[in-house]
């Protein structure tokens, strides 16, 4: 019941009476349906499902699911913190530039927020130029503009104005410079300073920032640096905090948030990679995980997007020996029947998609078993019916799930992998004269149940997907 509560699985009597493995499968289904919220739970469940040891199933139910969920909860919290910080950063930009805050503005995506800032009459030429430059690049540049670029550009606009003013009134230019510095520092706390606040001495201005700071800033480096500054008796320290120290502390906070999320993402990708390596049926997923980990944090984050993870599970199935260039594909004009055919990287896109399969945990829930979902027709799976293997849309019945599940075994020929039908135990995915069957080698009435070349015809290699 504790395990069911994690993924909000209804602990009905029927569910609680499932075998340990089948219960893990039920938990996995709920975790899968929950998307990114239960990503670590899903991966841990798949690892448990791949095992045939009862102790591994028990361990997942008793402790594994809770350990994985703790990781998921922390990742969700970190993501929520980052989303809140992103919204707050937008508020800071608006305060500094002098644009009135509205919920609509704060709710815009990063790129659309930058466009709104660029078009606003309060934005100076430097702000507009920096915004246009950021928009010409990627999401990393958008983030940089919002976190610091907009304020830095606004400061250049102010510096230009102050330079012109200094030629006429040096005292007024100096006053404006101090007001701008204080406004910028206050904006980092999401505070719009009053005239009275701007007139305070440097140390009392910092004290007022600390007194009125939002609760969520009180654990930040921004807040801690202000505390350290105000405890000093040196006026130069107070002024340094207002002019540069607050900005430096804020950037440290942003970097710490980003680093925390990046570390959690990398840990999850490593977990996914390790689980995929253990099964041996998702080499493309392993390769994609390694590629992301070898790249930057943005690549890791992109890899973890649900649609990208799903796509990385694509594979193509080829004979383990002989029939070079031939692959398992389906044909809609042949009622979805599966067969061997020559399909290559230069073939038509539709042909390559018909020869590409998303390898997912077996719909039947059997340990060490998998289902092959069509890359071209999501929700359609390779299944056996009357021993013929064809592509069929799932009706989610227990019989369909069994017939669409294939259990991985060491290749019968001594190489590759063989797949035993969960719906017809003892029968293996076999090509016979190019057609696909759930076959055995016992002989009998079926022409495909013959010992001749059986072990070669029932052994497969999991190859690079023809349609990525």
Specify the CATH number for the domain of residue 409.
Answer: 2.80.10.50
Burial of 103 (0-12, 13-18, 19+ CB in 10 A): exposed
Q: Residue 381: its pLDDT value, please?
A: 97
- For 250-267, what is the mean pLDDT? 92
Q: Does residue 112 fall inside a structural domain?
A: no
Residue 387 to residue 275: CA distance in whole angstroms: 31
- For 323-350, what is the mean pLDDT? 92
Q: Does residue 352 fall inside a structural domain?
A: yes
Q: Residue 299: its pLDDT value, please?
A: 94
Give the pair of three-digit tokens for residue 347. 């073939």
- For 145-168, what is the mean pLDDT? 88
Q: Does residue 223 fall inside a structural domain?
A: no
pLDDT confidence of 86, banded at 50, 70, 90?
A: confident
**Average pLDDT over the chain, rounded to whole?**
93
**Contacts for 200-206: CB closer than 8 Å, 24+ residues apart:** 202/235, 202/238, 202/239, 202/242, 203/230, 203/235, 203/238, 205/238, 205/242, 206/230, 206/238, 206/241, 206/242
Residue 71 to residue 268: CA distance in whole angstroms: 9
Measure the CA dihedral 235/237/243/246, to 10°.
Answer: -140
Closest CA to 445 of 386, 393, 397: 386
Q: Residue 164: its pLDDT value, please?
A: 82
Q: Does residue 67 fall inside a structural domain?
A: no
Q: Residue 150: its pLDDT value, please?
A: 94
- For the four alpha carbons of 338, 42, 254 and 90, in that order, the dihedral sign comes to positive
Helices 170-188, 246-279: inter-axial angle, 10-degree rounding: 30
Q: Residue 250: its pLDDT value, please?
A: 93
- For 159-164, what is the mean pLDDT? 86
Q: What are phi and psi of 239, to 5 degrees?
A: -65, -40
pLDDT confidence of 226, banded at 50, 70, 90?
A: very high
Q: Residue 382: its pLDDT value, please?
A: 97
- Distant-in-sequence, close-in-space partners of 425: CB < 8 Å, separation ≥ 6: none
Q: Does residue 30 fall inside a structural domain?
A: no
- Asked whether residue 443 carries a pLDDT value surpassing 90, the answer given is no
Query: Into how many domains does the chain fold?
Result: 1
Q: Does residue 44 fall inside a structural domain?
A: no
- For 134-162, what is the mean pLDDT? 92
- How far are the Cα atoms of 378, 409, 427, 440, 446 from residue 436, in angstroms, in the given order? 20, 18, 12, 12, 13
The angle subtended at Cα 442 by Cα 438 and Cα 446, nearest 5°, is 55
Is residue 328 within 8 A of residue 355, CB to CB? The reply is yes
Range of the domain at 381: 314-463
Q: Residue 322: its pLDDT value, please?
A: 80
Tens of pLDDT, residue by residue over 34-68, are 988 999 999 999 989 888 899 999 999 999 999 99
Q: What is the percent of the chain where pLDDT is above 90?
A: 81
pLDDT confidence of 365, banded at 50, 70, 90?
A: confident
Give the pair of three-digit tokens for residue 249. 């502390």
- Asked whether residue 99 carries a pLDDT value surpassing 80, the answer given is yes
Is residue 242 within 8 A of residue 265, CB to CB? The reply is no
Q: Residue 55: its pLDDT value, please?
A: 95
Q: Residue 80: its pLDDT value, please?
A: 87
- Asked whether residue 447 carries a pLDDT value surpassing 90, the answer given is yes
Q: Residue 361: its pLDDT value, please?
A: 92
Give the pair of three-digit tokens for residue 451. 């010992």
71-80, 167-176, 210-219, 410-419: least confidently modelled range: 167-176
Q: Residue 52: its pLDDT value, please?
A: 83
Q: Residue 231: its pLDDT value, please?
A: 96
- Asked whether residue 7 carries a pLDDT value surpassing 80, the answer given is yes
- Asked whether residue 79 carries a pLDDT value surpassing 90, the answer given is no
Q: Does residue 40 fall inside a structural domain?
A: no
Better-scored residue on pLDDT, 387 or 172: 387
Q: In 10 A of CB 233, how many CB atoms?
A: 7
Is residue 282 within 8 A of residue 276, CB to CB? The reply is yes
Q: Does residue 351 fall inside a structural domain?
A: yes
Q: Residue 233: its pLDDT value, please?
A: 95
- Asked whether residue 167 carries a pLDDT value surpassing 80, the answer given is no
């Amino acid at each position: 019941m504790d395990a069911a509560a994690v993924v909000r699985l209804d602990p009905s009597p029927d569910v609680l009476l499932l075998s340990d493995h089948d219960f893990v499968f039920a938990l996995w289904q709920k975790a899968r349906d929950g998307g990114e919220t239960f990503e670590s739970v899903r991966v841990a469940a798949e690892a448990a499902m791949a095992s045939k040891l009862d102790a591994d199933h028990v361990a997942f139910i008793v402790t594994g699911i809770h350990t994985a969920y703790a990781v998921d909860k922390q990742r969700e919290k970190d993501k929520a913190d980052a989303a809140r910080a992103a919204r707050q950063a937008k508020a800071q930009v608006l305060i500094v530039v002098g644009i009135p805050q509205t919920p609509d503005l704060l709710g815009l995506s990063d790129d659309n927020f930058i466009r709104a800032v660029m078009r606003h009459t309060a934005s100076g030429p430097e702000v507009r130029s920096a915004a246009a430059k950021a928009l010409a690049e990627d999401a990393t540049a958008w983030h940089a503009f919002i976190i610091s670029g907009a304020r830095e550009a606004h400061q250049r606009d102010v510096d230009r104005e102050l330079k012109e003013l200094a030629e006429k009134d040096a005292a007024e230019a100096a006053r404006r410079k101090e007001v701008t510095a204080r406004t910028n520092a206050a904006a980092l706390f999401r505070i719009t300073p009053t005239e009275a606040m701007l007139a305070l001495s440097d140390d009392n201005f910092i004290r007022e920032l600390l007194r009125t700071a939002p609760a969520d800033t009180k654990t930040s480096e921004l807040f801690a640096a202000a505390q350290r500054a105000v405890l000093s008796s040196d006026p130069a320290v107070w002024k340094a905090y207002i002019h540069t120290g607050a900005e430096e502390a804020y950037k440290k906070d942003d970097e710490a948030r980003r680093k925390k999320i990046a570390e959690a993402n990398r840990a999850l990708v490593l977990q996914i990679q390790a689980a995929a390596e253990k099964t041996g049926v998702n080499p493309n997923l392993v390769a994609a995980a390694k590629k992301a980990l070898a790249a930057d944090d943005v690549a890791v984050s992109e890899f973890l997007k649900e649609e990208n993870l799903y796509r990385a599970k694509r594979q193509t199935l080829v004979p383990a020996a002989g029939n070079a260039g031939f692959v398992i594909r389906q044909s809609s004009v042949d009622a979805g029947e599966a067969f061997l055919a020559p399909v290559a990287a230069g073939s038509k896109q539709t042909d390559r998609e018909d020869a590409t399969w998303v390898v997912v945990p077996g719909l039947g829930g059997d340990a060490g078993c998998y289902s092959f979902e069509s890359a071209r027709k999501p929700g359609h799976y390779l299944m056996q019916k009357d021993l013929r293997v064809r592509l069929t849309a799932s009706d989610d019945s227990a019989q369909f799930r069994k017939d669409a599940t294939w259990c991985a075994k060491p290749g019968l020929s001594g190489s590759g992998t063989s797949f035993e039908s969960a719906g017809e135990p003892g029968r293996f995915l076999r090509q016979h004269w190019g057609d696909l069957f759930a076959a055995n080698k016992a002989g009998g009435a079926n022409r495909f149940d013959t010992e001749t070349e059986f072990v070669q015809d029932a052994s497969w290699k999991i190859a690079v997907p023809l349609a990525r």
